[in-house]
Chain A
């Protein structure tokens, strides 16, 4: 690594910060809800798994992909009526790690309403909406312990006959040692921080997340602070991961997180377990839910790591 190239990368990261404009978030970021069951079990900690799913968390953690990784994630919100799923692949090349993925929430059977003769409401027909995000990332290691990455995200929000489209960049950096890591993740780094619809626009908020992890075998402790946007409270997350030597393929996680929804911070407890039989990793997470009809939420993800 030449000195000039290193300076180039460092200035790239600083540039991400300099152009970051902060403002009230309006657009619903699917990444806020997590895209890996292991991460969710730990309290939505960014970078809990060194697989392709890091694309949706902190892409600098893609440094853990040795040659190839694929990740799949699924959950169903609100009594199973709102499925969210995502898929990602990552490939290591001589130039670094390239990753691609998408995330999609699709909700069907929504009632289009009209009024009848008595001015009461009735259903005319039904329709669907879709919130999708398509991502491409590049990760590069500056040294054996310092990783940098950028993600290009394309947002596509279908709402009845209107469609919102927007593009933005994320940046991430991780300093990692054998038993510890410190990570910074900046989401929505470039202006214009907008997703444009036919006659309106919504704001992206610049989100900055600082995460740390430290291993005290058999436990690994995680902590995270997220700044979701100006005027909003800092969101805290903590998690613990336990892997016992006598059954190393099995591990358990527990976490607590805060999430900013509309105008208030909500907090949630979570737990999960993982079965890691290389190259296959299976993760299941459970979370308490506020929903009226269902007080729990399950998440599942599978990763292949080569």
Chain B
């Protein structure tokens, strides 16, 4: 089960559409689990450290294999990596339980749902040990590339099969 938790207020309609898209993408139940208090985390200017936010975010009740997706509207700080600064719209624990996505800088209206859903699928994919994909139409493609910003929020056949395999193996 994917549990969507908000750290900031989001429109109910957006959340409903998002849970539906996530259910379709992974073939796994997805529900909105409510809003939790934004934790106290260090800031770099206005941006928030995504790694710290993900570890400090309040836990929600769930079962062993549940994955928790935190949503925020605040900007996330770019991460310093050995090959440069990574634009960060989300972060997740590889083979872990938690993922985080920020809607900051995303378009408003109907386009928001698609863009947000694609980023959510990407981060949740990492939670199920998916790597970045070669297919520009896949949600697991490099998230800062121009191809990622357009197109449908869905996985390619290879990534879908991989995620299904992981989900099947993880079922308690």
A, B assembled together: no
Interface residues, chain B, with chain A CB atoms under 8 Å away: none
